[in-house]
């Protein structure tokens, strides 16, 4: 993975988190990479439990839709897709 894709992922995750209910969690931990904080077991992907620690409203059905390969974990590509979906929905809500 190159630095550009890491930076892009981090920016998307920051936007995802800021749009959700846990923005204060990152405000209290300046300088931390959101992926690092979400991937608590440090295996390079985010499980449903890890994601729910940050966004408790994520349902099994939503997670399954995002988990395209059915691994039970969101790898970077799957997480980026999920973030884009959430941001698109948030943008529609914010439109006058």
SS (H, E, C) 63-74: HHHHCCCCCCEE
CA proximity to 85, closest of 21, 20, 23, 27: 20
Per-block mean pLDDT, blocks of 10 residues, the chain (96 long): 61 56 46 68 93 87 93 86 77 73
Phi, psi (rounded to 5 degrees) for 29: -130, 60
The total number of structural domains in the chain stands at 1
Q: Which CATH number belongs to the domain containing residue 45 in this structure?
A: 1.10.238
Specify the pLDDT at position 60.
93
Q: By residue range, what is the domain housing residue 77? A: 3-94
């Amino acid at each position: 993975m190159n630095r550009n894709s890491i930076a892009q992922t981090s920016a998307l995750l920051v936007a995802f988190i800021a749009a959700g209910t846990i923005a204060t969690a990152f405000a209290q931990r300046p300088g931390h990479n959101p992926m690092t904080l979400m991937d608590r077991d440090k295996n390079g992907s985010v499980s449903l439990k890890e994601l729910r620690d940050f966004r408790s409203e994520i349902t099994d059905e939503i997670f399954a839709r995002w988990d395209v390969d059915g691994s039970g974990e969101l790898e970077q590509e799957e997480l980026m897709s999920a973030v884009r979906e959430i941001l698109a929905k948030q943008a529609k809500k914010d439109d006058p």
